[in-house]
């Protein structure tokens, strides 16, 4: 069996479909320059990840997580990890402040999404979506879906941490692809991969305690886990995704309505108009989080219902609904 050893975890391939992820007691920062072994780090990170993956599963997110094997190991679906990490920021901190010179603690009006290349040699550089697509690290569809999923995860996690008096400052997600092409949330989601501040005091509870030598790292990691485990009811709400579909007549098809507009524009003196073609658009709201499955469903709807494939083409963009449009929380019975 092949085993890959990372900075804090080992991944053992069990078969074609499954891997076993083991969390060690290692902690590291600054691309591994600073590292240490901290007792109970493995258990706390594993159990926090298990808890958060189970919560996300419950909301319908597609994740690699299958089950907990024991306190330091999870059974997960085997995926190929995409070479791009997605960071979502609600409040300025960390590399954002270092890169641009802004102070820590600025609340963003709209959560910021950043892509980073997984490339230790170049210190995981920030990358634009267009470079990531151009260099074939991800497809355009994957980039759009990764952003929509990350925004939806952010809204869920903000609410979960708010219940336990913690502020979600930022977090990092990794995505993997199954052999069938399904995009799954992968890796871990723990105090190592997010920033959490105590709501009342602003005290740091996450890996910044280690990066900044604030001490009591595992005490705070354990406290986060204990608070997560103490949540009695996970709030239920309807996650929504909005999709804009644009349907166009194929280039080879005559468009008399577009022609009429063109002639009318020419008559009225709009001489810079070279041609016009009419299309249609549809906005569809789904009561589901963004996912590969949803993307396939939209493709089917667009091809079979919204367009006539003989004469029309379509394209679509999947977006996570912003919070204010979401249906109200429904209390779990």
Where along the sequence are the contacts to ligand ASP (CB under 6 A)? 7, 28-32, 207, 211
Query: Which residues share a beta bridge with 304?
Result: none
Identity of the residue, 49 or 193, whose beta carbon is nearer to ligand TMP in the bound complex? 193
Closest CB 78 distance from ligand TMP, rounded Å: 22
CA angle 155, 18, 32 (to 5 degrees): 65
Closest CB 91 distance from ligand TMP, rounded Å: 11
Q: Which of 94, 235, 258, 279 binds ligand TMP (CB under 6 A)?
A: 94
Q: Which of 95, 141, 178, 242 binds ligand TMP (CB under 6 A)?
A: 95
Residue nearest to ligand ASP (CB): 29
Closest CB 43 distance from ligand ASP, rounded Å: 19
Q: Which helix (H) or strand (E) holds 82?
A: strand 80-91
Name the binder of 29 from ligand ASP, ligand TMP, none, CB < 5-8 A by kind: ligand ASP
Q: Which of 43, 56, 152, 194 binds ligand TMP (CB under 6 A)?
A: 194
Q: Residue 163, class by beta-carbon neighbours within 10 Å (0-12 exposed, 13-18 middle, 19+ buried)?
A: middle
Helices 140-163 and 292-301 cross at an angle (nearest 10°) of 130
Q: Is the distance from CB of 117 to CB of 151 less than 8 angstroms?
A: no
Identity of the residue, 210 or 316, whose beta carbon is nearer to ligand ASP in the bound complex? 210
Reading the block at residue 13, the tokens are: 């391939």
Query: Looking at 61-69, 139-147, 166-174, 229-237, which segment touches ligand TMP (CB under 6 A)?
Result: 166-174
Q: What mask, x for binding ligand TMP by CB under 6 A, covers residues 172 to 191?
A: x-------------------
Tell me the C-alpha distance between 2 and 274, whole Å: 60
Radius of gyration of the chain (CA): 23
Query: Which residues share a beta bridge with 173?
Result: 86
Identity of the residue, 68 or 211, whose beta carbon is nearer to ligand TMP in the bound complex? 211
Closest CB 55 distance from ligand ASP, rounded Å: 23
Closest CB 333 distance from ligand ASP, rounded Å: 41
Name, in order, each residue with C-beta under 8 angstroms of 114's C-beta and a sequence gap of 6 or more: 86, 87, 88, 89, 96, 126
Identity of the residue, 172 or 204, whose beta carbon is nearer to ligand TMP in the bound complex? 172
Sheet with 241-249: list strands edge to edge: 279-286, 241-249, 312-320
Contact between 96 and ligand TMP (CB under 6 A)? yes
Number of residues that bind ligand TMP (CB under 6 A): 12
Give me the count of residues in the chain.
333
CA-nearest of 326, 302, 291, 310 to 244 is 302
Under rule CB under 6 A, which residues in 217-246 are in contact with ligand TMP? none
List interacting residues with ligand TMP (CB under 6 A): 87, 93-96, 124, 170-172, 193-195
């Amino acid at each position: 069996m092949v085993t890959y050893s990372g900075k804090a975890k080992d991944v053992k391939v069990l078969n074609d479909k499954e891997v076993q992820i083991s969390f060690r007691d290692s902690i590291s920062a600054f691309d591994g320059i600073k590292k240490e072994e901290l007792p109970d780090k493995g258990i706390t990170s594993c159990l926090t990840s298990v808890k958060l993956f189970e919560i996300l599963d419950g909301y319908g997110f597609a994740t690699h997580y299958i089950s907990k094997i024991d306190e330091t190991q999870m059974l997960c679906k085997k995926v190929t990890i995409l070479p791009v990490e997605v960071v979502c920021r609600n409040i300025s901190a960390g590399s954002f402040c270092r890169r641009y010179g802004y102070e820590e603690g600025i609340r963003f009006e709209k959560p910021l999404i950043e892509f980073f290349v997984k490339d230790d040699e170049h210190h995981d550089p920030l990358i634009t979506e267009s470079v990531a697509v151009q260099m074939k690290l991800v497809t355009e569809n994957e980039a759009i879906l990764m952003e929509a999923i990350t925004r939806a995860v952010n809204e869920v996690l903000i609410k979960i941490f708010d219940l336990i008096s913690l502020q979600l400052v930022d977090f990092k997600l990794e995505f993997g692809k199954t052999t069938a092409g399904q995009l799954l949330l992968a890796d871990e989601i723990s105090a190592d991969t997010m920033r959490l501040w105590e709501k009342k005091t602003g005290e740091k509870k996450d890996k910044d305690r280690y990066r900044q030598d604030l001490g009591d790292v595992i005490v705070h990691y354990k406290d986060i886990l204990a608070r997560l485990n103490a949540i009695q009811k996970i709030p239920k709400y309807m996650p929504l995704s909005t999709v804009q579909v644009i349907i166009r007549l194929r280039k080879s098809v005559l468009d008399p309505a577009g022609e009429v507009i063109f002639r009318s524009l020419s008559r009225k003196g709009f001489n810079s108009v070279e041609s016009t073609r009419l299309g249609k658009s549809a906005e569809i709201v789904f009561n589901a989080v963004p996912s590969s499955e949803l993307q396939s469903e939209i493709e089917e709807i667009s091809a079979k219902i919204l367009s006539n494939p003989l004469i029309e083409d379509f394209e679509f963009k999947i977006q996570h609904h912003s919070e204010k449009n979401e249906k109200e929380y429904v209390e779990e019975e």
